[in-house]
Amino acid sequence: MSNDSILPTGQRRDVLQTVGGLAGFALIGSTSAAGAGDDGDVEGDGATENGRYALPELPYEYDALEPYIDERIMELHHSAHHQAYVDGANAALETFEEMRSESDYEDVKAAKRDFSFNFSGHINHTIFWQNMSPDGGGEPDGDLGAAIDEGFGSFEAFREEFTATAENVEGDGWAMLFYEPVADLLFIGQAESQNGLAHQGSIPILTLDVWEHAYYLQYENERGSYVEEWWNVVDWDDVCDRYEFLTQVEAGKGKDDDHADETDG
Ligand code: MN
């Protein structure tokens, strides 16, 4: 397939021009979430060849989302919490290798659970950081705006459902807007912890962390206030890019539909 126009600069075409490579890009964008890649200290190309994950840099400073999210929350959340998921995922991979080399699978259940939790945490947070911007807020237009109107009735209805979904996560977890490629639709789901309530094959394009570590230092037990203020930092350009990337890849939809109107008219 040819996707030259959507390939990020610096990414290797031979990695991206596979379904798996494209799915990886859909999840982590241009950030090297798997392996340090171009940054140098882990051998690899920024994809998955070295089989190790790395903490991506934030696309803004720790204080950039104030007053909506405090600098200290961002610093701890990124440098300590996200780093722990990266380390945990890599440690689980090493455990897998040890088990294979020794043919000893006594601890396989714990290792598989560790990887699911930590890898999911790594991906959830990588998307979450990119979904936010100091220039965020407002609402989406373009293909995503139209898809939200079609799927939820209006942006206001979408926002109401997403907010309710986030506020009603039981304990620690996430609210997420997913693109579901089988029926080509958007839906809002929850994740319990980092990895509970799986929606196989669906790709999150907007993630909201409602673990207490994401807001407690600033909002204490007022999760609803945190969620309301978070809407001010949502980077709809990023969410739109994710949606358009997925829907253009899928069977050449998107651009072709636009042109159909012109030729028919
Ligand atoms: Mn978190």
Tens digits of residue pLDDT in 101-160? 999 999 999 999 999 999 999 999 999 999 999 999 999 999 999 999 999 999 999 999
- Compute the C-alpha angle 74/53/128, nearest 5°: 35
Dist. CA 207–CA 247, nearest whole Å: 18
Burial degree of 251 (CB within 10 A; 0-12, 13-18, 19+): exposed
Q: What is the pTM of this model?
A: 0.84
Instruction: Kindly state whether residue 72 falls inside one of the protein's structural domains.
Output: no
* Residue ranges making up the domain that contains 224: 142-249
- Number of other residues whose CB lies within 10 A of the CB of residue 204: 22
Q: How many domains does the chain have?
A: 2
User: Is residue 224 domain-resident?
Assistant: yes
In a domain, 48, yes or no: yes
Which residue from 149, 178, 175 is spatially nearest to 163, judged by alpha carbons? 175
| Positions of E strands within the chain | 173-180, 185-192, 203-209
Q: Is residue 176 part of a domain?
A: yes
Is residue 3 situated within a structural domain? no
Distance (angstroms) between ligand 1 centre and the Cα of 78 equals 8
61 within domain boundaries: no
Angle at 132 between CA 48 and CA 141, to 5 degrees: 105
Residue recorded with tokens 């089989």? 51
User: Residue 73 Cα, ligand 1 centroid: separation in angstroms?
Assistant: 10
Quote the ligand 1 centre to 222 CA distance (angstroms).
16
Alpha carbon of 144 to those of 136, 209, 233: distances in Å? Answer: 16, 21, 18
Rounded to the nearest angstrom, the distance between the alpha carbon of 172 and the centre of ligand 1 is 9
CATH assignment of the domain containing 245: 3.55.40.20
Cβ(191)–Cβ(258) below 8 Å: no
Give dist(CA 110, CA 58) in Å, integer. 31
Distance of CA 254 to the CA centre of its chain: 22
Q: Please tell me the distance between residue 249's alpha carbon and the centre of ligand 1 in angstroms.
A: 30
> How many angstroms separate the Cα of 156 from the Cα of each of 72, 146, 148, 165?
31, 13, 10, 14
Q: Measured between alpha carbons, how far is 22 from 3 in angstroms, rounded to an integer? A: 10
Ligand 1 mean position, distance from CA 117 (Å): 12
Per-residue pLDDT of the chain (265 residues; tens, 9 = 90+): 333 333 344 444 455 567 777 788 888 875 444 443 344 343 333 323 366 899 999 999 999 999 999 999 999 999 999 999 999 999 999 999 999 999 999 999 999 999 999 999 999 999 999 999 999 999 999 999 999 999 999 999 999 999 999 999 999 999 999 999 999 999 999 999 999 999 999 999 999 999 999 999 999 999 999 999 999 999 999 999 999 999 985 444 444 444 444 444 3
Dihedral angle sign, alpha carbons of residues 9, 11, 15, 21: negative
Question: What is the Å distance from ligand 1's center to 85 Cα?
Answer: 9
Whether 63 is in a domain gets the answer no
